[in-house]
Amino acid sequence: MSRVRVSTTVDEHLLTAARELRSGATDAALLHEAGARPTRCTWLFFGACAGEAAFPAFVENLHFLLAATRETIVSAGLLGPAEVDEALSQLRRFGKRPDAAFWYAVAYAEGVR
């Protein structure tokens, strides 16, 4: 299996924004700025493993998201074009493994006005 190199020369402002989005730290603040009173913060879980009927759809969704953002990833200097293409190919191969699994969580906040 080939490896993909990830650039470590990412803009600090981009890293800070990504950390805030990933942590959900801005969710309550965005609700407040929109005139809502934050009432709940939680995580929405997404994930599957090779034994689940939905697993191919999870893999395809991730592939679609990464392919759709390919130019942004390349233009930001995060990966080169060949590296993104190889990662997308590896993702498809990974999705066919009998021991494959992946999961992630998305920050979620609710508020009322």
Confidence (pLDDT) at 6: 43
**Residues of the chain below pLDDT 70:** 1-25
What is the pTM (predicted TM-score) of this model? 0.61
- What is the amino acid identity at position 19? R
- Do residues 111 and 31 make contact, with C-beta atoms less than 8 angstroms apart? yes
Confidence (pLDDT) at 70: 92
Handedness of CA 43, 48, 52, 57 (dihedral sign): positive
Q: DSSP letter at 53? A: T
Distance CA 82, CA 104 (A): 26
Confidence (pLDDT) at 59: 92
Token pair of 107, please?
Answer: 């920050």
Distance CA 38, CA 54 (A): 33
